[in-house]
Amino acid sequence: MAVVDGSIAAAAGTLAVVIPVKEAADKSAIGLRQVRLRLFGDGRRTFTFSGTIDFTMEKTVNTLAEFESEATRFADLLTRNQEGATLVTLRGELGVGKTAFTKAVARSLGVEEIVNSPTFVLEKIYLLGGPTAKFKRLIHIDAYRLEKGGDLAPLGFDRLMQDAENLILLEWPEKVADVLPVPTMKISLTVQDDDSRIISYG
């Protein structure tokens, strides 16, 4: 879900708005809040529009280098929420690359230690530093072994979600869907027959 602010023009009661595909894919779909709307109509009446737009972008990557580059691009464009943590969920079958995506995001954010899947410990917290850091903590949660949303409570999930300085990457969101708030971004990873990956943002 991406927030869009801009203007739309009305002519004879008809509204027509186009979001340029590249701009929307690179910005609104990954959380940047300002998107320029192209106006259609005679422009005699213009008024402010603020709302939400469902937008899904898909990117096909063929190599590990492309996969890591896309994860880095995602991290660079991601902006933090002003109210509460930034929650990113990652879906996909075993071995599709959810943890590899998280590793690349972590490296992009300055994490130097080894990032492994927290399948058995469930949660790992990495401190992020630097004067230009967008977040103070990266929280990596693997919900694969959980049976219900209530199992997130011992991890302090509600408390973590209240802190706007937290970036939370959560694998297997379907396991805990009954308690998850609406994520800032939903990422889905799919393996193709040629071993390429489709990364879907929505």
CB of 38 closer than 8 Å to CB of 7: no
Q: Which CATH superfamily is domain 57-201 in?
A: P-loop containing nucleotide triphosphate hydrolases (3.40.50.300)
Task: Assess whether pLDDT exceeds 60 at residue 83.
Answer: yes
Task: Assess whether pLDDT exceeds 80 at residue 32.
Answer: no
Helix (H) or strand (E) holding 51: strand 45-53
Q: Is the Cα dihedral 77, 81, 86, 88 positive or negative?
A: negative
Task: Assess whether pLDDT exceeds 50 at residue 48.
Answer: no
What is this structure's pTM? 0.73
pLDDT of residue 56: 59
Q: Domain spans of the chain? A: 2-53, 57-201
- DSSP E strands in the chain: the ranges are 2-11, 14-15, 17-18, 38-39, 45-53, 57-61, 86-91, 123-127, 137-142, 166-171, 185-191, 197-201
Task: Assess whether pLDDT exceeds 80 at residue 42.
Answer: no
Mean pLDDT throughout 125-149?
A: 90
CB of 49 closer than 8 Å to CB of 23: no
Task: Assess whether pLDDT exceeds 70 at residue 162.
Answer: yes
Q: What's the pLDDT tens digit per position in 84-129?
A: 999 999 999 999 999 999 999 999 999 988 888 777 779 999 999 7
Task: Assess whether pLDDT exceeds 80 at residue 14.
Answer: no
Task: Assess whether pLDDT exceeds 80 at residue 30.
Answer: no
Higher pLDDT, 18 or 149: 149
Mean pLDDT throughout 158-177?
A: 95
Sorting pLDDT into bands at 50, 70 and 90, what band is 69?
Answer: very high
Sorting pLDDT into bands at 50, 70 and 90, what band is 78?
Answer: confident
Task: Assess whether pLDDT exceeds 80 at residue 36.
Answer: no
CB of 99 closer than 8 Å to CB of 117: yes
Higher pLDDT, 112 or 198: 198
Helix (H) or strand (E) holding 159: helix 157-161
